[in-house]
Structure 1
């Protein structure tokens, strides 16, 4: 079992629990979300399988190392790296802005948004400059500390007396409604943690065996339906639509009677601080390393890239309110889905020809 590969997949699945995927799926609960998930599972898993099988043909090499010796036109490689970097950076930015907004709404409404953002930015910009193996070691520590407790909270949600299965079954009756591309794209994003292998393949040693893929498929099924159905079970098929962050409101419906902190929402957010920090750091580390692959080694250019990343994050905080961010994220999911299919299929064909 290749644990580093699984860490990247699990991290992406965990961050999707509280961010925009459940909101999009619940929005389409009567309009094809269930069928959309069933369609997205083989597509997302298939893309995962294709890309992983292709990139492990180049042991311990990321995209910059693979294409540095592959030949081809430099302008095309620079353009490709730029497009992928922007997609990866925007994934991290959406998660960062969303979680900072959650903290401001549910923890400290009086704290300025930019102040909260700057705290996260300081830590993230330090982490993304680490070597790839150190970023992975830090991710491993965060997952081992937080994942068991998050799984316990999800278990409490499943076993809660306030979970109404009739609401879940009501949504299930819309199984055969034609899905929208947005619901398919949002559901497929659950499997997209493999895209971080663009850089993190540098530390993947040996083959990724079949057991890893079976675990990913199993975890993806559980994560996807849990993310979608639990808020509906707590708030009703109609009521779940009224929340900007359905899972945050769901966690506030839970209580740990014998815990020092009874309200689960505060424990939930504390655990997710580390998960969000690492998710954004991993995405931005990939974007940072890809951009570094487009020019010769230069400390000055490295700092310019970091400055641009910080400025874009601050600009996003200034100009994107919550509703606009939700709307943009829906379109971004569709664009990312199309880009992901093109890049994965193109790289899979190229890798097979290159390695025979």
Structure 2
């Protein structure tokens, strides 16, 4: 039975996972130069794409994007387009794995080399990627139910901490009228991108979203952006927060837990987000994996192994190229910009396919 709740899980897990990676740091780099305005505009853009994308996919219940494209578009276009967008999902997973291997090497296990940590993270992800989409979504639900309450507790604790400096937050708010930038809009709008996973998961989910559902998703996205943006400012200071590549790590370390076994929140925070990151990487690679396999006319086992081997090789190559966090950050920034325009192109294609379907039904 197809479940509408899986759609919410894919969107929400994408929202919370981006708190810890590069999105906050990109926004903090423009703290006084349009970050707030960029966030507000990104909510409008992100929700517009989400509404248009989900409503278009709802016209094809039980079908994935490759199946729909096969019915309405020539093969040469399908091969080019699916190859292109599958690379975006793959690179998204690599960015998550590289970022978390960097974080784990620095904060959890400095004695272990980053390549070793990256190898075991990638191996864990690769073992799960070939699973059926239905099983993957069921596993996502379990991890979602476990982790989201813990993340909510951490965020709530950070807001209620007495040492949070709300004057710094207020001072940043006075810079609302500054012009936004494309980089910050692309970064902030990424939290709404989880719906694009429906290009494969549409076979396992039911898109039955009403106006109130979109309002809830828009409110949650806006709240996530505001939380991930303002809490580090209040904890670290408006003039210090942009010095950290991963500002939420020192932010969590500044939160104390009285009457608890662990005094600082950093370790629980990292462990929770490690699970979230692995889920996110699995989802990215699962989508990319199935998009690539859809290019083959006949499905054979060697093709599955070849794609997984290419994924493994690609991680090693990108790790050598993006060999420090500054290069990785710059690469992720350009990727986010390209992702925004590619997502607009994807939604435009979905709208076109939905119109083709309605026109075809009218002719029948």
Q: TM-score, normalised by structure 2?
A: 0.95
CA contact (8 A) 2:100 2:277 kept: yes
Structure 2: segments with no counterpart, 5+ residues:
360-364
- 2:279 matches 1:278: yes
Structure 1 residues 18, 206: CA separation in 2 closer, same or farther (over 3 Å shift)?
closer
- Give the drift of 1:206: 5.5
Correspondent of 1:18 among 9, 17, 20 = 20
Distance 2:109 2:304 in 1: 35
1:232-276 C-alpha deviation (Å, 9 max, x unpaired): 111111110111110111000011111211110000011111111
Distance 1:283 1:238 in 2: 35
Structure 1: segments with no counterpart, 5+ residues:
none
CA contact (8 A) 1:31 1:179 kept: yes
- 2:226 matches 1:212: no
- Give the drift of 1:314: 1.6
- Give the drift of 1:346: 2.6
1:34-45 alignment, distance < 5 Å: 34-45=36-47
May I ask how many residue pairs the two structures share in their alignment?
355
Correspondent of 1:30 among 14, 29, 32 = 32
Structure 1 residues 28, 329: CA separation in 2 closer, same or farther (over 3 Å shift)?
same
CA contact (8 A) 1:63 1:199 kept: yes
CA contact (8 A) 2:26 2:187 kept: yes
- Aligned to 2:256, the other structure's residue is in SS state coil
CA contact (8 A) 1:6 1:212 kept: no
CA contact (8 A) 2:7 2:207 kept: no
Aligned-pair Cα RMSD in Å: 1.2
Distance 2:112 2:343 in 1: 37
Distance 1:21 1:224 in 2: 9
Distance 2:212 2:8 in 1: 11
Query: In terms of mean alpha carbon deviation, does 33-42 or 314-323 score higher?
Result: 314-323
1:110-189 alignment, distance < 5 Å: 110-189=111-190
- Give the drift of 1:96: 1.0
Query: In terms of mean alpha carbon deviation, does 310-319 or 344-353 score higher?
Result: 344-353
1:312-337 C-alpha deviation (Å, 9 max, x unpaired): 11222222111000011111111111
- Give the drift of 1:122: 1.4
* Structure 2 partner of 1:87: 88
Distance 1:45 1:18 in 2: 22
CA contact (8 A) 1:9 1:193 kept: yes
Distance 2:111 2:344 in 1: 43
* Structure 2 partner of 1:330: 333
- 2:62 matches 1:60: yes
* Structure 1 partner of 2:362: none
- Give the drift of 1:204: 1.1
1:246-261 alignment, distance < 5 Å: 246-261=247-262
CA contact (8 A) 1:88 1:284 kept: yes
- Give the drift of 1:212: 2.3
CA contact (8 A) 1:128 1:285 kept: yes
Distance 1:122 1:14 in 2: 23
Distance 1:142 1:310 in 2: 25
Structure 1 residues 206, 242: CA separation in 2 closer, same or farther (over 3 Å shift)?
closer
- Aligned to 1:69, the other structure's residue is in SS state helix
- Give the drift of 1:110: 1.0
Q: TM-score, normalised by structure 1?
A: 0.97
* Structure 2 partner of 1:227: 228
1:90-131 C-alpha deviation (Å, 9 max, x unpaired): 111111110111111111111011111111111111111000
- Aligned to 2:162, the other structure's residue is in SS state coil
* Structure 1 partner of 2:79: 78
* Structure 2 partner of 1:238: 239
Distance 1:75 1:250 in 2: 49
- Give the drift of 1:190: 1.0
